[in-house]
């Protein structure tokens, strides 16, 4: 009976863990940064992205999660979770400029010819704002 309880508990915990990350893609963890990515061929890009995030001070003391989506051969989107109810229209010009600079830098240093669009998302990676539109 005890073995059945332990087995059921393991299945329950595995199901919860799977459902929490379901649909986000494969995860790569570096310290307190989690990067989800949807194309397994992008692992090297994801590692470079994580290194860039740390070397440029884009991570604080709290855990942070970002997501790289690849659709097709060269169509990539970097999803950043924004604070609740943040609307791109309410962002100051300086903030928008910094995000566009980040996108340009990533395209020059990490993605080189395979451009990425930086978008703002809610906590479940639903796109709320695309800076390019």
Distances (CA, A) of 28 to 3, 67, 86, 109: 33, 10, 26, 20
Q: Mean of the pLDDT values across residues 29-56?
A: 95
Q: Give the residue with greater pLDDT, 71 vs 83.
A: 71
Distances (CA, A) of 40 to 23, 37, 70, 107, 108: 14, 7, 10, 20, 22
Q: How confident is the model at residue 133 (pLDDT cuts 50, 70, 90)?
A: low
Q: How confident is the model at residue 64 (pLDDT cuts 50, 70, 90)?
A: very high
Q: Do residues 120 and 127 make contact, with C-beta atoms less than 8 angstroms apart?
A: yes
Which domains are assigned to the chain? 25-130 (3.30.429)
CA 133 to chain centre: 20
Q: How confident is the model at residue 10 (pLDDT cuts 50, 70, 90)?
A: very low
Q: How confident is the model at residue 50 (pLDDT cuts 50, 70, 90)?
A: very high
DSSP string, 17-45: HHHHHTTT-EEEEETTEEEEES-GGGHHH
Q: What is the pLDDT of residue 75?
A: 84
Q: What is the pLDDT of residue 17?
A: 40
Full-model pTM: 0.77
Q: What is the pLDDT of residue 86?
A: 62
Q: What is the pLDDT of residue 15?
A: 35
What distance in Å separates the CA atoms of residue 35 and residue 11, rounded to the nearest whole number? 26
Q: ∠ at Cα 76 (72, 79), nearest 5°?
A: 135
Q: What is the pLDDT of residue 29?
A: 96
Element (H, E) at 101: helix 93-106
- Tokens matching residue 59: 């991570």
Q: Mean of the pLDDT values across residues 95-112?
A: 90
What distance in Å separates the CA atoms of residue 3 and residue 43, rounded to the nearest whole number? 38
């Amino acid at each position: 009976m005890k073995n059945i309880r332990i087995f059921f508990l393991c299945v329950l915990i595995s199901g919860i863990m799977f459902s929490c990350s379901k649909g986000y893609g494969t995860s790569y963890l570096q310290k307190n940064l989690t990067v989800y990515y949807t194309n397994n061929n992008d692992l090297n890009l994801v590692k470079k992205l994580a290194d860039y995030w740390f070397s440029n001070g884009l991570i604080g003391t709290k855990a942070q999660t970002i997501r790289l989506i690849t659709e097709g051969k060269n169509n990539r989107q970097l999803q950043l979770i924004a604070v609740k109810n943040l609307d791109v229209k309410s962002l100051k010009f300086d903030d928008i400029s910094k995000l566009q600079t980040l996108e340009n830098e990533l395209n020059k240093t990490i993605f080189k010819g395979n451009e990425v669009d930086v978008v703002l998302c809610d906590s479940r990676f639903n796109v709320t704002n695309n800076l390019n539109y």
